[in-house]
Amino acid sequence: MNINPYENALTQLDAAAKIIKLDEGLHEFLRTPKRVLTVSLPIKMDNGKIKVFTGYRVQHNDARGPYKGGIRYHPNVTLDEVKALATWMTWKCAITDIPLGGGKGGIVCDPKSMSISELERLTRRYAYAISDIIGAEVDVPAPDVYTSSREMAWIMDTYSTLKGKMVPGVITGKPLSIGGSKGRAEATGKGLAFCVREAAKKINLNIKGANVAIQGFGNAGTYSARFLHEMGANIIAVSDSTSGIYNSDGLDVEEVIAHKAKTGKVRGVAKSKEITNLQLLQIECDILVPAAYENQITKDNAKDIKAKIIAEAANGPTTPDADKLLYKNGKMVIPDILANAGGVTVSYFEWVQNLTRDYWSHEKVINMLEEKMVNAFNDVYNTANEYEKELRMGSMILAINRVVEAINDRGIWP
């Protein structure tokens, strides 16, 4: 079943708008991205031939501040996916109460089949193509799926060269040597762990000894596993795009991380049983962390999920129909726009450091992240209780109200 992520994003917005009786014009305003850019990217490949790639940059809303959102490289990138992610970024920044709006970018490509030199040419061409609509006070991209600090450095350098001066604040997720922030690499997983800790308190679940399953073992999944384990949780299952592994007594997280780094897969870790991604979602556990792709939890498998807490490290892993089933079955879903907001929060910290040229210690960054995430979780939890709704609807209502307040205070001009 092909599920459109943008339709999911609009469904969530529409449902929240109905509850808060949002003005019809403002509702339409929030349904529509402010700018959608599609660019053609001709690249000379290593074999001398020219190949043309397609890139996108979507700017959803900047009522609260410059657009903010990652750039992903993937063969299945679509414009609707990028529009959905840009929309969710608007809500994510509002929930964490940082002065940024929502944007997102992507290139349709298979980075695994490209050389480093081809990726550099593609990245720099993309940076050149979108350079007119990004900037430290306009739109600040960041890494996402299959991009990293390496690509961010290339983009910063390309943009800075075009401007004739170093502009570190044009992008976040950079290497430390050129204005990156300490704590950025682990920010998404650390932020998620703080949210899970707070959620566990609400349902009287002792996180020490709680069993955790994590679908997806990239950056977010890896650090989520590490930090939840440090809090005392028992990581019993993890998976990547090819397979999963399970041990009811608990996996050695550092051993799994090392094995994945060495082989590129989690399969084959000692004292583990191989399982599928679907089996992982349905495993007997206390906490489930979907950290892979969109639309993994659907109406077809939601009824079989046994976890008490589902913390969405990935963007859009749960469909609206599945959401209803999980809520009906008494599951606490920490929605993506809250659970994985640690990344954009520390990206915001990096941006502030770039603008002020004042760089902070790792301890300061993590302490500030914890304060932001705990406040965001409690703001969402209290809003959900006020409206007698699930956390996702609480997060949507909170975010929309904050964005609408900014729109109303600014006014519509001319």
Distances (CA, A) of 75 to 3, 128, 146, 187, 295: 17, 21, 11, 26, 17
**Edge to edge, what strands does the sheet with 67-74 contain?**
35-44, 50-61, 101-108, 67-74, 139-143
Residues 6+ apart with CB under 8 A from 310: 287, 288, 289, 290, 297, 318, 326, 331, 332, 333, 334
Report the run of H or E that residue 88 belongs to, with start and end.
Answer: helix 79-95
Q: Would residue 303 show up in a list of annotated catalytic residues for this protein?
A: no
Query: Of residues 68, 92, 104, 331, which has the active-site annotation?
Result: 104
Q: Are 39 and 56 in contact (CB under 8 A)?
A: yes
Task: Give 189-232 as a DSSP string.
Answer: HHHHHHHHHHHHHHTT--STT-EEEEE--SHHHHHHHHHHHHTT
Strands 67-74 and 139-143, by their bridges, are: parallel
Beta-bridge partners for 67: 101, 139
Residues labelled catalytic: 104
